[in-house]
Structure 1
């Protein structure tokens, strides 16, 4: 049943991405509009989605413990992915600039634009968003510190200010509301919830428009892109799913199936959009980053349902 939900949702995403791509191709969605759309999603609809989702969830100790497990093991995900990406780059003999993009894109996936809508559909009622938000909070703390440091070749030594944004505040306030069971007026939640629901379709339209405008014909010929996709979309989530299940059972750590699936499937998400943007800003190989994003996003349409089926098989 869950795999059918993923396939159905990915088909919807595909249609919306085509809409965005056509909008970009015909000049309706120009570069300025893409920038606006990205900021509108990140700074308005997404925090509304996070806040309203958390406000609707009934707090319980099990939910909070599972959220903390997802948060903590996110750093394990990123450390393992960094090691895998670094080894993969060295085996291919990539130059330092390409190694940076390769390793960072192995670490960071599209956990917002694709992850949030997918887990919201897969685990309705806010549970999926809750665990996805826990993962995002941990991942962002590394993206905007270590990620910026690597892409700027050490020139930008601190990205801590980037963490102080409306999404971080929405996450922290949302966790506080859930943890202490604070009641928020229904009309306020409904207003923000309605706006937050726009996150999913707008995100897909944005991805489609972004991919169309990247000019990645030359980039997709780079062999490292396909090895990256193999590692990120298949090998790493398969390995982590098996290892985590053994670790949780060996140490008797009680984690819900929803939290377990979110933790592993966030690793299986296609390459992160922000790495392309940051690569361009800090003088990295943004064309290679664009190729990573394009190929991994297309391939994820097939790999995400397969990973979900695999994880459910492990949990039986």
Structure 2
């Protein structure tokens, strides 16, 4: 447990570095776009490719992969339905219902999930988090578009146009890595070391970016929204708790259970802000939801990580 706690403490200390760097103007707000581009287009794809291809394909890996795929699909479908009931109970205005539902349902299993999962549970868990994230990407650009527009009538712009953003470097690296894993192809030693070295930058870089994002947010303004606080707590505490109760009794692999529960514990996906802006919804509210859930996750994620590590012995 101490090892896990130490790893998580180091990771979140990197967030503090990014926060301080932003406030000191060493990494001003405008630098974040360049850092994210470096992260999502170069370092993270390298990390995904080398981590996935470094695995050994076994019958357990195949069955666990299918379990994670099925479990993640069910998670988002149920989450979408339950989130609709929650916004109704909270009497959210019709104009903002879709944004609040997206804050509730989507999870940052890529941008934050990949590095934290790798640091806490290793490459084995990272592989399955990548599999889970593939489902998230499909959901975001299909049903997620419909979800963010709930509360008002708006014409869906077509599946092909909605799915186009999925063609990004992280998605391509994940798919390529899985194909190479199942085909048995290995990256030549020189290139594997090169890609591994670049990929190792991902964990500190991603956490520093989170810190810069928090540094550029008006935290005092955000915490004055009581409905957003309730939604954030449901996202970070109730969701993983309900997921644990739903999957823990099932006859599936322990790693599958851990990934499904852990995936539910991450804050709102950053891409929700861009989707809200694109669909002409309340992108400011979406940004505040991402910032608040990310801020609260500084406390909830280390606790949940230790609980899961102790319970599943991974």
Q: TM-score of the superposition, structure 2-length normalised?
A: 0.90
The alignment status of 1:56 with 2:54, answered yes or no, reads yes
Determine if contact 2:47/2:195 at 8 Å carries over to the other structure.
yes
- Tell me: CA distance 1:10–1:279, structure 2 relative to 1, closer, same or farther (3 Å): farther
Q: Which residue of 2 aligns with 1:9?
A: 7
Q: 1:185 aligns with which of 180, 188, 198?
A: 188
1:242 aligns with 2:245: yes
The answer for the alignment partner of 2:164 in structure 1 is 161
* Counterpart Cα distance in 1 of 2:110 and 2:85: 27
Where does the alignment leave 5 or more consecutive residues of structure 2 unmatched? Answer: none
| Pairing 1:70-85 to 2, within 5 Å after superposition | 70-85=68-83
Distance in 2 (CA, whole Å) between partners of 1:240 and 1:110 is 16
2:105 matched to which residue of 1?
Answer: 107
Residues 119/196 of structure 1: CA separation in 2 closer, same or farther (3 Å cut) = same
- Give the CA deviation at 1:29: 2.2
Residues 174 and 210 of structure 1, relative CA distance in 2, 3 Å threshold: same
Q: Cα 1:305–1:86, aligned 2, differ >3 Å: closer, same or farther?
A: same
**Alignment CA distance shift 1:294-1:8 (3 Å):** farther
Contact 1:151 1:279 in 2 (8 A): yes
Q: Distance in 1 between matches of 2:297 and 2:168?
A: 29
| Alignment partner of 1:264 is 2:261 | yes
Q: Does 2:281 align with 1:280?
A: no
Pairing partner for 2:203 from 200, 204, 209? 200
Aligned partner of 2:141 in structure 1 is: 144
Give the TM-score of the pair, scaled to structure 1. Answer: 0.89
1:127–1:203 distance in 2 versus 1, CA, 3 Å: same
CA shift, 1:148, in A, is: 3.3
The structure-2 alpha-carbon separation of the partners of 1:23 and 1:93, relative to structure 1 and needing over 3 Å to count, comes to same
Shift of residue 192 of structure 1?
A: 0.6
What is the deviation of 1:205? Answer: 0.9
Distance 1:285 1:7 in 2: 37
Mapped to 2, the partners of 1:156 and 1:12 lie a distance apart of 43
- CA deviations on 1:30-55 (whole Å, 9 max, x unpaired) are 34321111111111111111101112
How large is the RMSD of aligned CA atoms in angstroms? 2.1
1:79-120 per-position Cα deviation (integer Å, ceiling 9, x unaligned): 222222211111111112321121111111111222111211
Structure 1 pair 216–289 and aligned structure 2 pair: CA distance change class (3 A): farther
Given the superposition, is the C-alpha separation of residues 28 and 301 from structure 1 closer, same or farther in structure 2, using an over 3 Å criterion? closer
Q: Deviations over 1:263-294 (max 9, x none)?
A: 11111111221212332343322332233223
Change beyond 3 A, Cα 1:145–1:22? same
